[in-house]
Structure 1
Amino acid sequence: MSHVPSQDTPVTLPTQRSVGCPFDPPTGLGELRSRAPLTRMTYPDGHLGWLATGHGTVRAILADPRFSSRYELMHYPFPGGPEGPLPPAPVGDMTGMDAPEHTRYRRLLMGRFTVRRMRRLTERVREITAERLDEMERLGPGVDLVEVFARPVPALLICELLGVPYADRERFQGHADTIMAMDVSPEDRYAAMVGLQEYMAELVGAQRTAPTDDLLGDLARGSDLTDEELVGVGGFLLAAGLDTTANMIAHGTFALLSNPAQARALRTDPDLAPQAVEELLRFLTVAHTSVRTALEDVELDGRLIRAGESVTLSFEAANRDPARFADPDALDLRRAATGHLAFGHGIHQCLGQQLARVELTVALPALLGRFPTLRLAVPAEQVPLRTDMNIYGVHRLPVTWDQD
C-alpha cells in the first residue's frame, strides 16, 4: 500500500505515469485528491505553495480574479525547468496576462472565434480531413498517424485561418515544439520564441502592405494592434492551434484503438461524435497542468493560501474527480462529460475551443469510417509518449490496416 502524506506534509508534483497506463494521469495524483483537493506542495526552486487536484477547487481558482496568471509571479512546477524567476509574458501571449491587459486582447479576438464562425468552417475541415485520408490511403498500411494525419489537419486549418503559408511549416513547427517542451533550457526556449517572432514579423510586414482575407489580414486592417502586438498574437495563435488539437487527434485515436468497443460505437453511430469528443477531452486532458499565484490571502477548502504563493492546477486530476464524474477512469463515449476542464475555465478558457471541437468531431469519425480495420502497428507499450511536453499525447503513432 502506497504512503499518502497528510494534508500538512508538502509533496512534489507527481509526474511519473504508470507503465502500461498511457491514458491515466501520473500515479499519486488520485491518491492526493482522495485525501484533500488542495495539498501543500514544494516546488523545484524550493517555493512552498499548493497543488489543486479536486474539480471544484481547480474550477474555483480559475474563476477567481485574486489569482494571477502572470508568469513573472509564478513558480515553475516541473523539475528540470528554468531556474530563478520567470520572465513576463511576451507581447501577445494572453496566457500569461491578467485583466485589463488580457481583456483587451481577448475582446479583440473573441469576435473572430465565435461558435457560428467556427461551425461555418466545418466544410473546410471535412475537405482537409478527406485530403489527408486520401494521402493515407495512397501511402498504404504502415504509417505514422501523427505525421500523415494528426498534425496536418489542424496545421492546415490554422494556417488558412491566420494566413500563414503551410509550405513554411518546417520554419515554425520546430520552434513551436521547443516552446511546448517542459525540460528545455531557458536559452533554447527563448531562441525558439525569437525564431517564431522573426517569422511572424515577415508575415505581418506583408499584411501591412497588402492585407489578405484571413485573420492576420483582418487584424492588420481592422484593429489598433501595433506591429509588435500583431506579431505576438499571431505567433501565440499559431503555436496554440498547431499543438493541442494535433495531440487530441493522435492520442484520441490511440485511446479508441485501445478501447475497441468505444471505437465501434463511434464508427457505427457518427451522430455520437460531439458527445464522444467531450468525453475524450475529459478522459485524456492533454493540456494537463497550469499555475496561478495568489495576489492576496485567499481562504479555500478550509486552507489559507497566502499572497505570493503559487498553486499548481492539475486539470488531469480534476477531470478524473469521482466527486464530479462517476467512474471517472473509464472511457465512456456516451457519458455526458459537460463541465470538464480540458479547455480551462474563466477568463483564460481556451479561445480556440470551438475550432478544436469542429476539427475533432469531423476528423475522428472520418478516420475510423475510412479505415474500419485501423489498428496499432506496434504493441501499445512501444508507442512513445509525450511525457516531456506541456501538451501530453504521443510523439508517434504507428498504425496499419487491411487493404481491400
Structure 2
Amino acid sequence: MLTLIKGGRVIDPGNLDGVMDILIENDRIIGITPLERTDGDPSELFKKDNDIKIIDASGKIVVPGLIDMHVHLREPGQEYKETIETGTLAAASGGFTGLCAMPNTIPVNDNRQTTEYILNRARDFGKVNVYPVAAISIGLNGERLCEYGDLKEAGAIAISDDGKPVSNSRLMRRAMEYAKQFGLPVISHCEVSELSSGGSMNEGIIATGMGLSGIPNEAESIMVARDIALCELTGAHLHIAHVSTLQSVRAIRDAKKRGVPVTAETAPHYFTLTQDAVCGYNTNAKMNPPLRSEADRDAIREGLADGTIDVIATDHAPHSILEKEVEFDMAANGIVGLETSVSLGLKLVKDKIISLSELIEKMSVNPARILHLDRSIKKGKAADITIIDTDISYTVDSDSFCSLGRNTPFNGWKMKGRACLTMVGGKIVFENIIS
C-alpha cells in the first residue's frame, strides 16, 4: 500500500526543512520531494496501484516521530491506573510514536521475564513503539545490581531506578561501569532521601504558609553533582531525569563544558509552572521533584535554550482518584503529560525561548540519539512520523484523555497547537482533524 503525505513543512533538524511530499510504501519511506528518486516516478506508482491514501498536510508540520523518554505505563501490577494499551493510545494521541516504559511496576522490571512480558503486551495491544527501561538494582532496593546483559538481550534500552534514588555511591559507580559494557544509558533519579523525606512540595514561604513540609533544591542538586562525578570517573553515559532546579542546570552545564558524557531531560511542568500551582492544596500539582520557584523555572528555560537540557520528556504518571483526591500530604506524586506535552512545548516556541526546530530536536532527534535509535525522515527509513497543527486552538479537557489518568494541572487551559496525526511503521495510529 502507498501513502502520500502531501505539502507539509518537513522539519528533520540537521536533515530537512521545507515544504515537501513524502511517499511511503508499507512501513518505509520510499521517496521525498523535492524528489529523492525512487525506482521510478511516484506518479507512475500511483497509476499502477489503486490502494493509495493521500494525507493533505498543507499548513502543518511533518516531523520524525516524537519519542517520550520517561513514561509510567503502570502495567504490570497497577492496571487500574493505566495499561499498556491505554498508555500507548494516549501517547499516539499526543503525537508520540515511541516511549520508554519506566521499571517501577509491580513486579519491578528487573529481570528478563518482566521485560519480555512488557514487550509482548506492547506487541499485542500497544499503539506505539515501547522501549522498556530496566531497573538498576533488584527490586529498586539499591542493594544488588541486576543482570544488565540479560536485560539488554531481552529488549531493555536503558537502566534506571526511577522513583527511587540509588543512594549507595559505590553501587552507582558499579552500575555505570557495568552498563557501559553494554552501551546502556544510566537514567538517574537524583534525590537525597534524607533531605526530601517527609516533604510534599518545594521548600519556601508558600510551603510554610500552607503548613506543609518542604523539599529543598539541594535534595536534587547534591545527587546531580555526585552522579556527574561518577560519570566523569567511569565514562559511562549518564542521563539525568526530570531536572527541576537552577543548581542542577548549572552543574550539568559545567559538566558538559568539561566533556563529561552527561545528558539531561526536563518535563513540561517544570518549564511552565511554579510552586504557586500548589496553592489551594491542588494535588494535581503535586509531583517529585516538586514544582519549584520562578527562578528555577527560568533556569530550566535557559537550560533548554542553550542546550544544557537535551530532552523534553513528560514523566507521565497516571493515578486514580484513590491516590489524588486525598489530603495533600497523603496524595501520590505525579501527573499525566502525554496528551499536553506538544502544546506546552509549542508555547516555548511562541515565547521565543527555543525555535521550532529545537523543539523537534528535544522531543524526537535527541531522544533517538540518546537511546541509539535510528529515526529520521530519509529514504529507506521506517515511516514513524508525527504531523503537528501549530494553528489549532483548543481547551484541555481531562475527561477526554485517552489515558486512564485525569491528574493534570492543565485541565481547562487554553492551548494552541497539537499533534493531529501519528504514524508508526506506515500505519496511522491516531488521527484528529486532518483530511
Question: TM-score normalised to the size of structure 1?
Answer: 0.29
Higher strand share goes to which structure? 2
Greater length-normalized contact order (CA 8 Å, ≥ 6 residues apart) = 1
